[in-house]
Chains A and B, each alone.
Chain A
């Protein structure tokens, strides 16, 4: 058997089915790689004992002929998903000492499909960030480096640990969550595939909440088909999340045909933003050409409110964040810092428990929701959000899928863009509009920039039409033939 860490999830499943390897051997391989590459700081909590236990149970199920869709596949889990009996931190000090007595629906679905947990991955605190620099447990290092430059680069965020663990082959697949780009942007920065499904496709139950009208779980892997397999296991209606859609889960892997003949691919003209690098622009054009050569028909479309999506997001998301994070008061669980009276205990606990970016967003959210400002900010943002959603609806009358860059730049150096919060926010300029409209998006690694860093392109489809997304993404993946990998991994 070749090096197990080199296999795709689909290949692992085939090898397991043929008896060429075991869940135990796979778990041991990746446990070894997690240990070797600890300097990436991709994991907050490694769970090797649990991985070996789950692998043993998986091998036993297979021996009985009871193999699930992801039987024996080891996975890394973003530390925003509650995992029963395993510390869950959201990368925040405020959840100090919290061990969930329950399992999130998405992870429960994965374990039901036979997957094995390797550990809990690092992230921006409460999933707020685009660099993984805001984690209480320290920054994550991107396995990729610029050619001839040894400076550490960020993996993107917020699901930075998940993306870095897959890119460095510390895990063959991982879960993430995406509120404004937190799966697609790190996937692009790390040269892997990342999917944000339609809002409502995956249950949010048991995922630590950031902005409830936007949060959605999704997978990372090396290939489009692997992400399709993972999403298939993660998705599905859950009565415990009233926004989870009561719809059957299609066979996403079967949709990965790459057959885009006659498919209309919309190219939104407003995504040609000022200051976009010539390399990204060229990559985008190559993507258009690739899909055209595969039989698709590019059409120019307009999404006129694109430029307002980020500002809208930075009202809606902090507003929801300030409400959601009000529950962390030091009373019932997590960190508690004493004070002379109850209000001071609240003040002290929350000041010590939340990091700078989380505090900023709580304050912004509190401000825009406060008396006298609600209409000017929050209501206005919800109205612009309606216009953004309408733009997409109208564009999809003329096309089946949209193709855009995932990010305006490749991965940047750790510590860059930290002086001004707005500069950091601009990272999500191409991913936020999709989130505001609740639509599914995928980032596919498509090329390298002149520094040798990966760049991704994003495909966006209609709500609950992930099949078209996977079909088009497979065509892009095949044509791009992205085979580069980070040195030393």
Chain B
């Protein structure tokens, strides 16, 4: 499978990854190389083979519907890029907010 620069631009957009136009031809070449190599899988007869998504044959366990965590607002807010914002600056026990740039219009 050969990938052209338009396809590179399209998947870069899907992946939310800016790829400068100057780099697109080189990437197209590399990705084409990888995909051509991958196409050897077409030799394998997989008719009727159930796809394997995970090797773990553990059934997802159920647990009691109880609170197992909490009371760690300061930790949750520690990496907030805008810092933690409190309704009452003097009171950190309630109303801590994780501030982010505007992501909805």
* Chain A contact residues, CB within 8 Å of chain B: 97-99, 101-102, 199-200, 213, 239, 242-243, 245-246, 305, 307-308, 311-312, 314-315, 322, 326, 329, 331-333, 336, 342-348, 350-351, 354, 359-360, 362-364, 366-367, 370, 377, 379-387, 389, 420-422, 436-438, 463
Contacts and interface: CB of A to CB of B under 8 A. Distances in A.
A422 B30 CA distance: 9
B46 A380 contact: yes
A334 B35 CA distance: 31
B58 A387 contact: no
Given A308-B43, A311-B38, 19 more contacts: A99-B78, A101-B79, A199-B55, A239-B61, A246-B61, A311-B41, A315-B38, A315-B41, A331-B103, A332-B98, A342-B101, A350-B15, A363-B31, A364-B35, A367-B7, A382-B51, A389-B52, A436-B55, A463-B55
A342 B38 contact: no
Contact of A308 (B40, B58, B98, B101): B40
15 contacts: A99-B79, A239-B63, A243-B56, A314-B37, A332-B80, A360-B31, A362-B17, A363-B8, A363-B12, A364-B34, A366-B11, A379-B51, A383-B52, A384-B41, A386-B50
Contacts of B46: 380, 383-384, 387
A349 B77 CA distance: 21
A332 B34 contact: no
Interface string B56-100: 101011010000000010011011110000000000000000101
A395 B76 CA distance: 48
Contacts of A362: 15, 17
A347 B98 CA distance: 23
Contact of A363 (B11, B56, B63, B76): B11
Given A350-B17, A354-B17, A387-B46, A422 B37 contact: yes
Contacts of A350: 15-18
Contacts of A97: 79
B81 A333 contact: yes
Given A332-B79, A383-B49, A345 B101 contact: yes
B40 A386 contact: no
B58 A363 contact: no
A328 to B, nearest CB: 10
Contacts of A242: 58, 60-61
A422 B34 contact: yes
Contacts of A366: 11, 14-15
Interface in B18-51: 18-19, 27, 30-31, 33-35, 37-44, 46, 49-51
B49 A311 contact: no
Contacts of B16: 326, 329, 343, 346-347, 350
Contacts of A98: 79
B3 interface: yes
Given A311-B38, A332-B100, A243 B54 contact: yes
A129 B7 CA distance: 25
A359 B18 CA distance: 10
A422 B79 CA distance: 37
A311 B51 contact: no
Contacts of A347: 16-18
A367 B3 contact: yes
A267 to B, nearest CB: 23
A316 to B, nearest CB: 9
A384 B53 CA distance: 11
- Chain B CB count within 10 A is highest, among A239, A336, A384, for A384
A350 B14 CA distance: 12
Nearest to A382: B51
A486 B7 CA distance: 48
A311 B19 CA distance: 25
A370 B34 CA distance: 16
A387 B42 CA distance: 14
Contacts of A239: 61, 63
A367 B11 contact: yes
A351 B56 contact: no
A314 B81 contact: no
A62 B19 CA distance: 56
Contacts of A344: 18
A246 B19 CA distance: 44
Contacts of B80: 332-333
A242 B54 CA distance: 12
